């Protein structure tokens, strides 16, 4: 098991895809959840790298400071502002959107925050399920509800919600019922926003296989114990076993997909899902 398999990579300037888009300016705000680490951090950096003003939110204040420090190290065009908040608190959700809207014209929402718990349905703790539901499904719905009026107030009356999906919103693996249910639900939220947005308020989801994030790295030992196999076997047989592309994605790869979806290049992406899973869910032996 190599270090590259277990270590979440650091975003570099050259990793960030730039998009030629008139709406990618510092007057427009992109709100990113889960921005203290992993895909959320990479998306915050990618948005700032494309000139947007970023409202970065997470419950982890130190993680957010790390994101801001990395953005400053990279000398990115856009700014990143930390908004510490708990996605399970409606009061915090309302404050997060209010503070984000004070930074400029709130135009983009990236619902990325997530959590994982490995257990069978029979053993799954409902308190954990409730928290997963609040963070990964209810919060994205409420944040969308709060952001859409701000989208309509922008110069062109348009805006976009990007939701962090998963292959587990297409097919499931055992012992992840909380995660599976949330990811299937996010596809329903995405399509619901599109149905009501009249092409002006768009939504899309991004569904990936396994990505080199702390969320993935932290579940290796639990998955190994649950299945009675080694951590090496979890990576090679479970995470990459059905994938035709034998490597995990990096967080910035996913961040670039979010920026594509927000950009004018994604203007026909409305209610759809960007499936980047290395062939994992659509091929078989």
Q: What percent of the chain has pLDDT over 90?
A: 78
User: What mean pLDDT, rounded, does the chain reach?
Assistant: 92
pLDDT for residue 229: 79
110 forms beta bridges with 32, 162
pLDDT for residue 6: 53
Domains of the chain: 3-276 (3.40.50.720)
Task: Please state whether the predicted TM-score (pTM) of the whole model is above 0.75.
Answer: yes
Alpha-carbon span 55 to 248, nearest angstrom:
28
24-51: average pLDDT: 98
Which tens digits make up the pLDDT trace of 71-91? 999 999 999 999 999 999 999
pLDDT for residue 218: 67
Instruction: Tell me if 70 sits within 8 A of 41, measured CB to CB.
Output: yes
Angle between helices 139-152 and 177-197 (to 10 degrees): 20
Q: Residue 55: which of 118, 6, 3, 99 has the closest Cα?
A: 99
Lowest-confidence region among 8-12, 196-200, 207-211, 226-230: 226-230
Per-residue pLDDT band for 1 (boundaries 50, 70, 90) equals: very low
Per-residue pLDDT band for 3 (boundaries 50, 70, 90) equals: very low
Residue 195: is its pLDDT beyond 60?
yes
118-141: average pLDDT: 97
pLDDT for residue 211: 83
Per-residue pLDDT band for 239 (boundaries 50, 70, 90) equals: low
Alpha-carbon span 143 to 162, nearest angstrom:
12
Give the H or E element holding residue 73: helix 61-74
Which tens digits make up the pLDDT trace of 171-193? 898 999 999 999 999 999 999 99
Instruction: Tell me if 254 sits within 8 A of 206, measured CB to CB.
Output: yes
């Amino acid at each position: 098991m190599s270090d590259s398999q277990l270590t979440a990579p650091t975003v570099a300037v050259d990793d960030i895809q730039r998009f030629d888009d008139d709406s990618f300016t510092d007057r427009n705000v992109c709100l990113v959840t889960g921005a203290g680490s992993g895909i959320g951090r990479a998306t915050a950096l990618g948005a700032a790298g494309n000139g947007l003003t970023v409202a970065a939110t997470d419950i982890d204040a130190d993680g957010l400071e790390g994101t801001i420090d990395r953005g400053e190290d990279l000398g990115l065009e856009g700014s990143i502002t930390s908004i510490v908040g708990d996605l399970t608190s409606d009061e915090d959700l309302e404050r997060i959107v209010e503070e984000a809207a004070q930074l400029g014209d709130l135009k983009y929402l990236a619902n990325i925050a997530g959590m994982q718990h490995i257990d069978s349905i029979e053993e799954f703790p409902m308190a954990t399920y409730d928290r997963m539901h609040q963070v990964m499904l209810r919060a994205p719905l409420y944040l969308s509800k709060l952001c859409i009026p701000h989208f309509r107030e922008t110069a062109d009356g348009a805006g976009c919600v990007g939701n962090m999906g998963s292959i587990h919103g297409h097919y499931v693996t055992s012992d992840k019922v909380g995660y599976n249910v949330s990811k299937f639900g996010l596809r329903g939220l995405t399509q619901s926003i599109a149905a009501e947005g009249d092409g002006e308020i768009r939504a899309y989801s991004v569904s990936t296989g396994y990505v080199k994030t702390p969320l993935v790295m932290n579940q290796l030992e639990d998955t190994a114990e649950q299945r009675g196999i080694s951590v090496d076997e979890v990576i090679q047989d479970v995470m990459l076993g059905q994938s035709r592309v034998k490597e995990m994605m990096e967080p910035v790869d996913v961040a670039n997909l979010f920026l594509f979806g927000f950009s004018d290049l994604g203007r026909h992406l409305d209610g759809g899902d960007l499936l980047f899973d290395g062939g994992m869910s659509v091929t078989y032996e």
